[in-house]
């Protein structure tokens, strides 16, 4: 290979020495013994290619936003390598590219410093937000706090704090310590409030449990009295409702015991009621037959005949006596419908005639007075025996007869 055939950036002389060409002239870069000039020149060209590759990789790192400090360190190292490189190629071009990277590094440094400053401000703001949320939880009224929800929120805030601390930028020591101090104080306050709340709640629950246990014992003691103790049990039930809560699981268990004690009494009462109802079953049959007769008066238009028939039916009705409890209202409602019809007939007549004269002539006042006297005696007997249901029925019938007596002027 002659000098004219040498590569533009280097040559090999007759002794096998390799030179690189620069703007300042030629510079010896070395020898490649026992090789042809082409092989010697190619060897040092490969060295240049390695340097060019390193510069290219550094340019790519800069474009991708590599840390400015790392880029600056790499530029300095490559400058030194290129300046005295034993390589054949456009070394000055590499130097210019490295010089351009130096300017880019300065811009990158400024940009990254600005980004780091903004990221730090965002990190402080985010961690401050976490602290303020924790402080807001700590400021809640413990008596009104939903502790399950509040505890979950605090755990989530602490998890956010830890994640932010691990993944976010490092905060200045003073600010980081101050924020952590505030967060730790809020956590401690919340925990103190929670413990105090549940300690107070446990104390209240213990008092309620004690009261309800006493009510259970009093209810169970009523069992020997059977149905006669139902009223007393209902009074205990009122106390139970006022006793408060002892916690759901405990309350459920206590209520099961209290209810079981009441069930014994109500079952005894149900058996007595069933026996009485069976005894009154024949009375129901008689009253149903009497109702069929009474309901025929619904088509009657003569008030005098209707009243005479109704009075007779009412006397028979009172003489028959009680019916089963579940039938009291149905049969009474049917009789009242007939009574209402008869009164409407009499009202129409009284509008046309002298109500007082007609009523007394028909003996209505006397009949009503007899019925009232009889009902008053029944009421007194029911109250004396403590039969509240019979007393209520007598009182209701008595009120009706008195209203009729007042209507006819008696």
Contact present, 236 and 218 (Cβ < 8 Å): yes
Residue 356 has pLDDT above 70, yes or no: no
- Tens of pLDDT along 214-264? 888 888 888 888 778 788 888 988 988 888 887 777 888 888 888 888 888
Among 164, 153, 87, smallest CA distance to 124 is for 164
| Residue 93: CB atoms within 10 Å | 13
Tell me the angle at which helices 303-320 and 364-385 cross, rounded to the nearest 10 degrees. Answer: 20
Q: How confident is the model at residue 109 (pLDDT cuts 50, 70, 90)?
A: low
As given in the structure block, the two tokens for residue 317 are 């009705």
CA angle 114, 120, 123 (to 5 degrees): 145
Residue 64 has pLDDT above 90, yes or no: no
pLDDT at 333: 92
Q: Which of 216-220, 275-279, 376-380 has the lowest mean pLDDT?
A: 275-279
Strand order in the sheet with 25-31: 10-12, 17-22, 25-31
Q: How confident is the model at residue 202 (pLDDT cuts 50, 70, 90)?
A: confident
Predicted structure pTM score: 0.36
- Higher-confidence residue: 203 or 125? 125
Average pLDDT over residues 334-340: 89
The rounded percent of the chain whose pLDDT value lies above 90 is 10
pLDDT at 57: 92
Residue 50 has pLDDT above 90, yes or no: yes
Residue 114 has pLDDT above 70, yes or no: no
pLDDT at 4: 38
pLDDT at 275: 67
Convert the chain into a string of H (helix), E (strand) and C (coil).
CCHHHCCCCEEECCCCEEEEEECCEEEEEEECCCCCHHHHHHHHHHHHHHHHHHHHHHHHHHHCCCCHHHHHHHHHHHHHHHHCCCCCCCHHHHHHHHHHHHHHHHHHHHHHHHHHHHHHHHHHHHHHHHHHHHHHHHCCCCCCCCHHHHHHHHHHHHHHHHHHHHHCCCCCHHHHHHHHHHHHHHHHHHHHHHHHHHHHHHHHHHHHHHHHHHHHHHHHHCHHHHHHHHHHHHHHHHHHHHCCCCCHHHHHHHHHHHHHHHHHHHHHHHHHHHHHHHHCHHHHHHHHHHHHHHHHHHHCCCHHHHHHHHHHHHHHHHHHCCCCHHHHHHHHHHHHHHHHHHHHHHHHHHHHCCHHHHHHHCCHHHHHHHHHHHHHHHHHHHHHHCCHHHHHHHHHHHHHHHHHHHHCCC
Residue 98 has pLDDT above 80, yes or no: yes
Average pLDDT over residues 290-302: 87
Domain positions in the chain: 3-114, 138-199, 202-278, 279-407
- Tens of pLDDT along 18-47? 999 988 889 999 988 888 889 989 999 999
Among 273, 391, 286, 375, smallest CA distance to 324 is for 273
The rounded percent of the chain whose pLDDT value lies above 70 is 89
């Amino acid at each position: 290979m002659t000098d004219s055939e040498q590569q533009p950036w280097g040559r090999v002389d007759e002794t096998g020495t390799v030179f690189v060409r620069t703007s300042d002239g030629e510079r010896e870069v070395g020898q490649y013994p026992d090789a042809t000039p082409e092989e010697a020149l190619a060897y040092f060209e490969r060295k240049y290619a390695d340097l060019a590759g390193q510069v290219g990789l550094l340019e790519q790192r800069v474009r991708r936003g590599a840390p400015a400090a790392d880029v600056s360190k790499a530029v300095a190292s490559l400058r030194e390598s290129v300046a005295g490189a034993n390589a054949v190629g456009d070394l000055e071009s590499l130097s210019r590219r490295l010089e351009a990277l130096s300017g880019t590094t300065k811009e990158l440094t400024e940009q990254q410093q600005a980004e780091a400053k903004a990221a730090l401000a965002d990190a402080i703001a985010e961690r401050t937000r976490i602290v303020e949320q924790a402080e807001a939880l700590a400021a809640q009224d413990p008596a009104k706090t939903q502790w399950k929800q509040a505890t979950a929120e605090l755990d989530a805030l602490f998890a956010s704090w830890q994640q932010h601390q691990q993944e976010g930028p490092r905060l200045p020591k003073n600010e980081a310590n101050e924020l952590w101090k505030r967060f730790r104080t809020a956590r401690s306050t919340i925990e103190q409030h929670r413990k105090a709340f549940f300690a107070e709640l446990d104390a209240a629950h213990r008092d309620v449990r004690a009261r309800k246990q006493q009510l259970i014992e009093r209810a169970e003691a009523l069992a020997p009295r059977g149905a006669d103790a139902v009223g007393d049990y209902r009074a205990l039930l009122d106390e139970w409702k006022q006793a408060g809560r002892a916690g759901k699981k405990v309350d459920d268990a206590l209520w099961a015991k209290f209810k079981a004690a009441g069930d014994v009494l109500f079952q005894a009462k149900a058996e007595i009621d069933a026996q009485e109802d069976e005894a009154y079953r024949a009375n129901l049959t008689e009253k149903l037959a009497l109702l069929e007769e009474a309901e025929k008066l619904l088509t009657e238009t003569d008030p005098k005949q209707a009243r005479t028939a109704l009075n007779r039916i009412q006397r028979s009705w009172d003489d028959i006596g009680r019916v089963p409890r579940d039938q009291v209202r149905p049969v009474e409602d049917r009789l009242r419908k007939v009574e209402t019809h008869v009164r409407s007939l009499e009202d129409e007549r009284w509008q046309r005639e002298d109500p007082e004269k007609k009523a007394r002539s028909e003996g209505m006042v006397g009949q009503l007075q007899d019925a009232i006297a009889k009902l008053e005696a029944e009421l007194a007997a029911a109250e004396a025996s403590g039969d509240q249901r019979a007393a209520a029925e007598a009182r209701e019938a008595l009120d009706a007869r008195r209203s009729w007596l007042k209507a006819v002027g008696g």
